[in-house]
Structure 1
Amino acid sequence: MTPTVVVGPVSRGSMLGALTAAALGVGFVEIRKDGGPATDSDRWVQRTTGPDYQDRHVVFGFRHGLVKSGDRVLMVDDWADTGATALATRALIRDCSAHWIGAACIVDALGNARLRHELPLRALIDVRRL
């Protein structure tokens, strides 16, 4: 399924996501961490992650309306470790009534193989090959 929008979390996910979106000829939305709406008067969609690789809970979000109902969304990032970012992003996409296609990253370091299939996640390389 071809995406209509690519999303990427700051900072490396934004860079990779924007390049992916440009290559696919679709829109791009940056997902901001902690505090985006404080400087913006627009309504935001936000979710808090489960524990990440540093055992932190991070608030992710973007302006409401950037991802629209019916959009097909692909998340792009550099590294997947716990899956917390992808799970929170998937929840954000569903909050917008959009369709989650899956996640793509450079390095798959997921410890939980179930998440690889549940998300679904595709990667260029498995961490065990580094």
Structure 2
Amino acid sequence: MQSAADILRQRIRTVADWPQAGVQFRDITPVLQDPVSFRLMVQTLVVRYMPQHIDVVAGIDARGFILGAVVAHELNVGFVPVRKKGKLPFTTVSEEYELEYGSATVELHTDAVKPGDRVLLIDDLIATGGTMMAAKKLIERLGGAIVEGAAIVDLPELGGSALLRAAGLELFTLVDYAGH
């Protein structure tokens, strides 16, 4: 019997040289298109986090919204979006970070996380770790406590998962592309 990681790895598409030359983009769109893979991905996370006390799921722009919102629904907790700069209509806190091919800023509504909230942070992929680290800082600035950071894909050679763990963030990923 195949593991969840093996099934998901078969569905994740690699797009060479996107968004720029030399980048091997791991595209989760085929996972989302396949109802069996999508359900497997969601249920793996739900089963992991159901026994834990989670107050809110924070999903990182943009693919983290898809998975995060569904997991929040299944856990019967609220969902908050961590958005790219300028996309949220209310008062925000912001954090700038470096990408593997540039820099960006993410924002969170100031009332998205309350002091003491236990937060599950979700994104699609960990590369350099910049986006998740910025989201972590925003949540902690608002007084939230991150239970764990979760992602579909880890690209450990880019150093992000090691950086996040060194910063004290527990991580759970479904598919590891070590050596790829």
TM-score norm. by structure 1 comes to 0.86
Give the C-alpha shift of residue 116 in structure 1. Answer: 5.2
- Verify the 8 A CA contact 2:154 2:176 in the aligned structure 1: yes
| 2:103 partner SS | coil
Q: Which residue of 2 aligns with 1:98?
A: 144
Q: Kindly tell me: are residues 44 and 116 of structure 1, through their superposed partners in 2, closer, same or farther at Cα, counting changes over 3 Å?
A: closer
Alpha-carbon distance, 1:98 to partner: 1.1
Q: How does 1:17-28 map to 2 (within 5 A)?
A: 17-28=68-79
Q: Is the 8 A contact 1:73 1:101 kept in 2?
A: yes
Deviation string, structure 1 residues 62-99 (Cα, Å, up to 9, x no partner): 21111111101111111100111111011001110111
- 2:162 alignment partner in structure 1: 114
Correspondence for 2:128 = 82
More helix by share: 2
Letter of the aligned partner of 1:44 in structure 2?
Answer: T
Call closer, same or farther: CA 1:116–1:122 in 2, change over 3 Å: farther
SS at match of 1:29: strand
Distance 1:53 1:100 in 2: 24
Q: 2: distance between equivalents of 1:61 and 1:99?
A: 17
What displacement does 1:102 show?
A: 2.0
Mark the runs of 5 or more structure 1 residues left unpaired by the alignment: none
Q: Identity across aligned pairs (percent)? A: 34
Q: Give the TM-score normalised by the residue count of structure 2.
A: 0.64
1:67 aligns with 2:110: no
**How many correspondences in the alignment?**
125
Greater CA drift, 63-72 or 116-125: 116-125
After superposition, the C-alpha distances for 1:8-61 in whole angstroms (9 at most, x for unaligned) are 112110011001111111110011102125xx3x31111111x2121x221101
The structure whose RCO (Cα within 8 Å, separation 6+) is larger is 1
Counterpart in 2 of 1:44? 92
**Structure 2: segments with no counterpart, 5+ residues:** 1-51
Q: Which residue of 2 aligns with 1:53?
A: 100
Which structure: larger Rg?
2
Distance 1:5 1:35 in 2: 22
Q: Displaced runs of 4+ in structure 1, greater than 6 A? A: none
